[in-house]
Structure 1
Amino acid sequence: MSQTTVAALTGEAGDQSGSPAGNTPAGGRRARRRGHERGRPLWMLLPGGILMLLIIVVPLLVAVLMSTLDLDQYTLQSWLQAPFIGLQNYVEAVTSSSLLRSVGISVSFALIAAVVTMPIGLAAALATQNRFRGRALVRSLFLIPYVLPAFVVGTLWRTMLQPGGVVDSTLGALGAHPGLWLNGPLSYWSLIIVQIWTSWPFFYLLVLAGLQGVDHEVHEAAAIDGATWWIKLRYVILPYLRGPILLALIIAFLHNINAFTLPFVLFGVPAPADVDVLPVLTYVTSFQSFRFGLSAAMAICSLILIAIPLFVYLRAVKLDSGEEEKR
């Protein structure tokens, strides 16, 4: 028997005896290659991580630092040498300013607008789900309020709601004279109405996308069983749309809380007390009162307010994913 044959048989015996493949040069190369491939995704995340650090983390740390300084128009030029006052800006924001009132206005306005737009968007999506003549045109018209810039929407509605405008003339012809829309208690409901008009197509888009995921066989089974449209909507369609609707509610709520351009253009500054939302209050405190440290503290409070519903949503999604994996 040749030495080559003996070596081959010896190698097979060594492999069958359970010796690790990593002991051979080829096995070592394969192990190093697998380790390199496992580490490769981390290198791919590095550019995005650096960008996130520069765009999000660094400005956030600067805002936190500014909120602990007595920063105004006199100390802004050398803001790093501004007096350090710790949490005094936060205490003043909560106790002496109108921050808590603005938080209440922003939360209630955002919640009402998001909840009201949900059934409107759902109804519009259900109405345009099936094919009919002119469906593409109707879908395009539905998107007009959403694609218009907020500055244009605010200017348009400010013109319509001013005294003697289109709204007052129309209501006057019907015998109704509600009063001023852009000042006083009605300004709050004017802001909600305009926000609903401009944001309901967002719900429409998300619900329409969710309807595409409903299995066609489920519709056929419901039709064979003789289900009415209400039973079909409640027990067939809405369970499929729970995720898109919840996501739309969270995004709309966060977007409404952060709304600045629409109330700024619609009411101007200083805004009426009934529509003094948190972004407008922060802007006025910073660029009209020149209390930059106090406005930074308000901005941090706004960030905390936004993080609460976002954390609740992410927690709910995580729990749902865990339940599905267990099943």
Structure 2
Amino acid sequence: MTTPSTTERPVARAGGTAPAPGRTPRPARRRSLDTRGRPLWMLLPGGILMAIVIVVPLILGVVISLLDLDQYTLRSWLQAPFVGLGNFVEALTQSPLLRSIGISASFALIVTAVTLPIGVVAALATQNAFRGRAVVRSIFLIPYVLPAFVVATVWRTILQPSGIGNHFLSFFGIDGGLWLNGPKSYWALVFVAIWSSWPFIYLLALSGLQSVDTEVHEAAALDGALWWAKLRYVIFPYLRGPISLAVIIAILHNINNFTLPFVLFGIPTPDAVQVMPVLTYIASFQSFRFGLSAAMAICSLVIVAIPLFIYLKAVRLDSGEDRVVRGVRETGVAR
């Protein structure tokens, strides 16, 4: 009886027995659910929730913006007269929407430009360890952790004609006058927004400083780098990502800020601080022009989408996955 050679022996498969000689191996049974498709199923509950919270209201807003919907046609809003783009034309030509866009844009840019150096300097001041650093950091965060309506209520009391703000300015011979009405209301809103929003820049700048390697600081000290050269060539490159993200988020937040001007000035607001969210609120709940207010909201959404795309670009994790996928496709491995 001869023993079969090594090449004639069936090769055993991992996790199973060797197939019998002369038989074709049966193909493995395919799974009912592809493994690569499982993450999509896991995203389904969140996708449904986002559709209910974001997509459905957006579609309703677009539909309402095409109707002449007001207090008289609200009960049967599906039968409201269809006006097409008439609300958009009225919003851009007959309403103060363009003026509100300018006010919102200038307000957001001024507040962001002022809070940026304040937050960076505060982060640099509290980076190194010193006695009482935890207390100082906690004090810096007070304006940011307070709710917006609390901040607006407190500053509304301070900026009254007989409030503590004008009383303090009187010691220096300055007549404050009216801060909550007239042209000074714009700068009052800017000042309060700066006071309440600079700790956000501070937090992101501080997180960027924490990522600087200690060996980089030691190397700069051994090379005899001065403080300005150290800031410019060592620290600022690490802050480029967090600061860019902070600027985009701050601009978006200031453009969409409704609570601060609404509580600080009340309704009707002065013309100098009639930002886009406040104007949309007035058109909807003061004039009851729901179709017009929906058109204003859509126009505001389009304007906000411009920095929003930059924001989405900034928050992408730079993990190198795009380069890996591109390299795999170039080598022909991906199918």
TM-score higher than 0.5 here? yes
Q: Percent of aligned pairs with the same residue? A: 68
Structure 2 counterpart of 1:182: 180
Matching residue's letter, 2:218: E
What is the CA–CA distance in structure 2 between the aligned matches of 1:319 and 1:214, rounded to whole Å? 18
| Counterparts of residues 48-67 of structure 1 (less than 5 Å) | 48-67=46-65
Q: Deviations over 1:184-229 (max 9, x none)?
A: 1111111010000000011111111111111111111111111111
| Counterparts of residues 1-327 of structure 1 (less than 5 Å) | 9-12=8-11, 24-25=25-26, 28-29=28-29, 32=31, 36-315=34-313, 325=323
What is the CA–CA distance in structure 1 between the aligned matches of 2:193 and 2:315, rounded to whole Å? 27
Change beyond 3 A, Cα 1:91–1:131: same
Post-superposition offset of 1:37:
1.4
| SS of aligned partner of 1:9 | coil
- Say how many residue pairs are matched: 316
CA contact (8 A) 2:249 2:311 kept: no
What is the CA–CA distance in structure 2 between the aligned matches of 1:13 and 1:153, rounded to whole Å? 74
What is the CA–CA distance in structure 1 between the aligned matches of 2:316 and 2:143, rounded to whole Å? 34
Q: Deviations over 1:40-67 (max 9, x none)?
A: 1111011111111111000000000000
Change beyond 3 A, Cα 1:2–1:44: farther
More deviation, 276-285/161-170: 161-170
What is the CA–CA distance in structure 1 between the aligned matches of 2:186 and 2:164, rounded to whole Å? 19
Matching residue's letter, 2:10: G
Structure 2 counterpart of 1:18: none
Structure 1 counterpart of 2:333: none
Q: Deviations over 1:282-316 (max 9, x none)?
A: 00000000000000000111111111011134346
Matching residue's letter, 1:11: P
What is the CA–CA distance in structure 2 between the aligned matches of 1:75 and 1:24, rounded to whole Å? 72
Structure 1 counterpart of 2:21: none
Matching residue's letter, 1:136: A
What is the CA–CA distance in structure 2 between the aligned matches of 1:204 and 1:319, rounded to whole Å? 21
Q: Unpaired runs of 5+ in structure 2? A: 14-23, 328-335
Post-superposition offset of 1:325:
3.8
Post-superposition offset of 1:320:
7.5
Post-superposition offset of 1:178:
3.7
What is the CA–CA distance in structure 1 between the aligned matches of 2:209 and 2:233, rounded to whole Å? 14
Structure with the largest fraction of helix? 1
| SS of aligned partner of 2:208 | helix
Post-superposition offset of 1:164:
1.6
| SS of aligned partner of 1:138 | helix
What is the CA–CA distance in structure 2 between the aligned matches of 1:269 and 1:2, rounded to whole Å? 103
Q: Deviations over 1:206-253 (max 9, x none)?
A: 111111111111111111111111111111111111010010000011
Post-superposition offset of 1:323:
12
TM-score of the superposed pair, with normalisation by structure 1: 0.90
Matching residue's letter, 1:150: A
Post-superposition offset of 1:11:
3.1
| SS of aligned partner of 1:28 | coil
Change beyond 3 A, Cα 1:127–1:8: same
TM-score of the superposed pair, with normalisation by structure 2: 0.88
| SS of aligned partner of 2:8 | helix
**Runs of 4 or more off by more than 4 Å in structure 1?**
5-8, 315-324
Change beyond 3 A, Cα 1:68–1:130: same
